[in-house]
Structure 1
Amino acid sequence: MSFDHHQLKDALLGRLSSVGANEAWRELHAAGVTSLRIPEARGGLGLTFADAEPVLEALGELCLPTPFLETGIIAAGLLARSPTPEGDVLLEEMARAGAVVAVAGLESADHVSALPEGDGWRLRGEAKVVVDALAARTRLVAADAGVFLVDQGAVGLSMRPVATIDGRMAADVTFAGVEAGSPIAPAFDLALARDEAVAAICVEAAGLMRRLVRDTVGYAKQRRQFDQPLGAFQVVQHRLVDMNIQARRASAIARRAVMAIDGGLASRARMVSAAKVTICRAGRFVGQSAVQLHGGMGMTEELPIGRCFKRLTVIEGQLGGADHHLTRFSVTGAAA
C-alpha cells in the first residue's frame, strides 16, 4: 500500500469514527470516495480497483455497513468497463448525488434468464438477499445474457423484504417477465465483477479481524479475574497470539487477491478463491474467539464485537463459501 493509500485510510478513519451507519454513506460521498472508480468524464476520480483498498479497510475496522461494495465497486466497475448511454447517465448520478445501486444475480444460487423479445429482453428468475434492493432506485441484474438495468417500478418486479443479521435491509427479488433494454455489460464481464467483489469483502473482513484483535487485547488488559488482568493468564495470551496470526494471514492474502485482479483469468481465480477460503476460516476463528473472551458482553449491542462477528458471518457465506471456493481453486488449478 502506498503512502497515499495510508493517508486516505487514516483520513476516513478519522472522518467516520463518530458517525452511525445511517450517516456513513453520506459522509463517504462528501469525501468523494463513492465515485472513486467512476471515470473522470462522468464526474468521478477515474482510479483503479486497487485504489479502493483503503476505503474497504477503513469500513472493516469501523464495522460500518454501507453500499460501497455494491455501488462503488461492482456497479461502478461494470458500468465503467462497458460505456453505454444509459450506464453513463447512471454513473453521473452516482458521482453527483451519491445514488445507490443494488446488484442482483451475482450469487451462485441466483439464476436470472434473459430472453430476447422484439427490440428488448424479458427477465425471469429470482435473486436472493439483494442488499439495498428496497432503497435503490436502480438495479443492475446479472443474467445469463449479460447485465441489465432495471428501475424500481418495473412491471413484473416483486420484492420480499429480508433483514440481514449484520443490520442491513435486503430483499428476495423475483423477475416475472420484467422488460429490459439492451445489456449494459456483457456476460463475460461478470466473472471479473465477482472476483473484484470477493477480493473487496476479503479486504473488509481483514479490517474487521484487526478490529476484533485490538479490542480483545484491550479488554483482556482491563478485565480482572482472581485479582489479576485476564490477559495475565497464559492460555488467554496464547489465544490472543493465535487471533493475531490469523488476522495477519487474512490481511496478507486479501492484499494478494487485490493484486491478482489485473492478472490472467486462471491466476486471478485461484488467488481470489484462496483468499476467500482463508478469510472464511480465519474470520470464524477470530470472531468466535473474540466473543468467547468477552463473555456475554461479546454479543451485546453496546460493544462492536457482536456487530463485527455478525458481519464476518455474513461475509463467510457471501459470494460463495469455503467449499465453493475450494472446488473452484481445484478445478482452476487442474485446468491450468
Structure 2
Amino acid sequence: MSFDHVQLKNALLGRLSKAEPAEAWRELLAAGVLGLRAPEAQGGLGLAFADAEPVLEALGELCLPTPFLETAIIAAGIMARTARQDALLAEIAQRGAVVAVAGLERADTISAVRNGDVWRLRGEAKVVVDAPAARTLLVATDAGVFLVDPSAAGLSPRPVATIDGRMAADITFSDVDVSTPMAVDLDLVRDEAVAALCVEAAGLMRRLVRDTVEYAKQRRQFGQALGQFQVVQHRLVDMNIHARRASAIARRAVAAIDGHPSARARMVSAAKVTICRAGRFVGQNAVQLHGGMGMTEELPIGRCFKRLTVIEGQLGGADHHLLRFSVTGAAA
C-alpha cells in the first residue's frame, strides 16, 4: 500500500470510527470517495480500481457494511468504462445515489430477450443487496448490462434481511422493458468485486485479531489474564497468521486485476479460497475466546463474524473458486 493510500485509510478510520452504517454513507460522500471511479467531468476522482483498497480496508476494520462495493466500484466502474450514463455517475459522486447490482451471482437466472429494438428481462435474482434503497438497479445478463428503474412494470421485489444487518430483495423480472445494454466484460467485473470483498474481509480479520488480543489481556480467569495461558497465546498467534496471510493475498488479487485474464482469474480465486478459510478460522476463534460476549450487540465481534460469513458466500465460495483455480491452471 502506497503512502497516499495509508494516509487515506487513516483519515477514513478517524472520520468513520463512531459512525453508524447510514451515517457512514454520508461521511463517504463528504470525503469524496463515492466518486472514486467516476470521471472528473462528473464530479468524481477518475481513479483506478486499486485506489479503492484503503476505503475497503477501513470499512472492513470498522465493520461498516455499506453499498460502496455495489455502487462506487461495480456500477461506477461499468459506467465509466462504457462512457454511458454520465448523469447517474454524477449522482453517485455528488449526491450519494445508491445503485443495487443483480445478475452477478451464479444463482441468478436473468435472461434478456430482444424483439426488434425492444429488450425485455425475464428471470429472478436472489438477495440483491440494498435494492430497497436503490436509486437504480444494474442488471447483468449474457447480453450485456442493463439499467432498470426499481419501479418499472413487471419488476417484483420481495424484501429480505441479511445476517450482517443490511436490507436486500429477491427480485422477479417478468418481461421488464429496458433500454440498450452496455457491453461489459463480466468476468473482469466479477473479479474486481471478489478482490474488493477479499480486501474488506482482510480488514475485518485484523479487527477481530486486535480486539481478541485486547480482550485476552483484560479478561481474568483462574487468577491471571486469559492471555497468559500458553494455549490461548498459540491460538492468538494462529489467528494473526491467518489474518496476515489473508491481507497479503488480497493485495495480490487487487494488483492482478490489470494483468492477463487467466493470471487474474487464478489469483482472484486463490485469494477468495484463502479468505474463506481464514475468515472462518479467525471469526470462530474470536467468538470462542470472547465466550458469550462474542455474540452480544455490545461488542463488534459477532457483527464482524456475520459479515465474514456473508462475504464467504458472495460471488462463489471456497469450493467454486478452488475449482475455478484448477480449471484455469489446466487451461493455461
Query: What is the TM-score normalised by the length of structure 2?
Result: 0.99
Give yes or no for contact 1:250–1:275 (8 Å, CA) kept in 2.
Answer: yes
Shift of 1:118: 3.0
Separation in 2 of the partners of 1:153 and 1:129?
17
**Alignment deviations for residues 1-55 of structure 1 (CA, whole Å, 9 cap, x no partner):** 1100000000000000011112010100000001101111221000000000000
- Tell whether 2:291 aligns with 1:295: yes
- The whole-number CA distance in structure 2 between the counterparts of 1:209 and 1:241 is 13
1:139 aligns with one of 120, 129, 137 = 137
Moved more, 18-27 or 287-296: 18-27
1:247-270 Cα shifts (integer Å, max 9, x gaps): 000000000000000001000000
Cα separation, 1, equivalents of 2:217 and 2:142: 54
Please, what is the CA RMSD of the aligned residues?
0.7
Aligned partner letter, 1:185: A
Question: What residue number does 2:120 align with?
Answer: 122
Classify the secondary structure of the residue corresponding to 2:133.
Answer: coil
1:83, 1:184 within 8 Å by CA — same for their partners in 2?
A: no
8 Å contact kept, 1:79–1:185: no
| Pairing 1:196-275 to 2, within 5 Å after superposition | 196-275=192-271
Amino acid at match of 1:291: V
Within the alignment, does 1:334 sit opposite 2:322 as a pair?
no
1:67 paired to 2:63 = no
Q: State how 1:105-120 maps to structure 2 within 5 Å.
A: 105-120=103-118
Q: Is the 8 A contact 1:63 1:304 kept in 2?
A: yes
> 2:301 pairs with 293, 300, 305, which one?
305
Which of structure 1's runs of 4+ aligned residues deviate more than 6 A?
A: none
Q: Which amino acid aligns with 1:263?
A: G
| Structure 2 residue ranges without an equivalent (≥5) | none
Amino acid at match of 1:48: A
Following the alignment from structure 2 to structure 1, what is the Cα–Cα distance between the partners of residues 254 and 162?
Answer: 26
1:167-214 superposed Cα distances (whole Å, 9 cap, x missing partner): 00000011000000000233xx11111000000000000000000000
1:182 matches 2:180: yes
User: Within the alignment, does 1:19 sit opposite 2:15 as a pair?
Assistant: no
TM-score, L = length of structure 1: 0.98
Matched ranges for 1:50-89 at <5 A: 50-84=50-84, 87-89=85-87
Task: Name the amino acid aligned to 2:93.
Answer: A
CA shift, 1:160, in A, is 0.8
Within 2, Cα distance between the matches of 1:41 and 1:120?
A: 31
Shift of 1:61: 0.1
Distance 1:19 1:269 in 2: 35
- Name the CA distance, whole Å, in 2 between partners of 1:283 and 1:63: 14
- Work out the number of aligned pairs and report it: 332
Distance in 2 of aligned mates of 1:100 and 1:120? 26
